[in-house]
Amino acid sequence: MADRIRVVIVDGHTLTRFGLLGVVGGLADIEVVGDSGLGGDAVGLVEAVRPDVVVLDTALPDADGLLIARELRDRDDRLGIVLLAANGEDDLLFRALELGVSAFVTKTAPIAEVLAAIRHAAVAAKSFLASGLGPAFARRQLAAPVTVLSPRETEVLVLLGRGLTIPAIAGRIFVSASTAKTYVARIYEKLGASNRAQALMAGVRLGLISEELAAAG
């Protein structure tokens, strides 16, 4: 079928990889076009077979899956990237969000959630999906009670840290440019900032974004 989602799976855990291969192999709308247990194969494999989506383990035996995700995103902003993690720790989830991947799923999630992430990544590679994102934002705000950014405003702050312009942010979160501009203005007001650099510094101080992301922005 010409409209099947072409997927590459890179996971160092043999049972996980073979389990996904078995499940996907029985689906009408998804097909696996390549797989590997090593991070060192990931970029070359993706370049060779040009999948719609890559499912990538965060903790590979020979590499950091997050670093590979960053390289893949830098190479192709249309590639769907689904990160699989052994746990759903908030720091890991927010790092995934900062990298611009398409979805973040734990290995303990129901298979239906993994498949939903793959299908989402195939059609909305630039939009982040994670079932635990809302609660993670809530926990972060509790840890920094002086911060009153909404989850969407925090997402916009992350995109500012990645260096995106207001029109680019609007496209990434599917709103108008004027709405994106309003989000940015609210962020500046709430963080007591008058420009992007000050907002990013405040975001680091309050634990909203990493120092690495602020430096990149």
pLDDT for res 88 = 82
CA of 27: how far to CAs of 1, 23, 92, 115, 123, in Å? 11, 7, 30, 10, 17
pLDDT for res 217 = 59
Comparing 17-31, 83-97, 98-112, 138-152, the range with the smallest average pLDDT is 138-152
pLDDT for res 193 = 86
DSSP state letter for 32: E
Indicate the average pLDDT of the chain: 89
Give the mean model confidence (pLDDT) for residues 147-170: 89
Q: Read off the pLDDT band of 203 (50, 70, 90).
A: confident
Greatest Cα-to-Cα distance within the chain, rounded to the nearest angstrom: 54
The residue with greater pLDDT, 144 or 202, is 202
Residues 105, 147: Cα–Cα separation, whole Å: 27
pLDDT for res 207 = 80
Q: Which domains does the chain have, with CATH numbers?
A: 5-131 (3.40.50.2300), 135-216 (1.10.10.10)
180: which 2 tokens? 């994106």
The 3-class secondary structure across 55-83, one letter per residue, is: EEECEECCEEHHHHHHHHHHHCCCCEEEE
pLDDT for res 168 = 94
Residues 155, 135: Cα–Cα separation, whole Å: 14
Tens digit of each residue's pLDDT (9 = 90 or more) over 176-191: 999 999 999 999 988 8
For residue 104, list its beta bridge partners: 83
pLDDT for res 132 = 84
Give the mean model confidence (pLDDT) for residues 25-47: 94
Q: Read off the pLDDT band of 2 (50, 70, 90).
A: low
Give the mean model confidence (pLDDT) for residues 160-167: 92
Query: 131 φ, ψ to 5°?
Result: -65, -25
Give the mean model confidence (pLDDT) for residues 5-27: 92
pLDDT for res 214 = 66
Give the mean model confidence (pLDDT) for residues 131-158: 78
CA of 97: how far to CAs of 17, 107, 121, 125, 162, in Å? 23, 17, 13, 12, 11
pLDDT for res 208 = 83
48: which 2 tokens? 């060779």
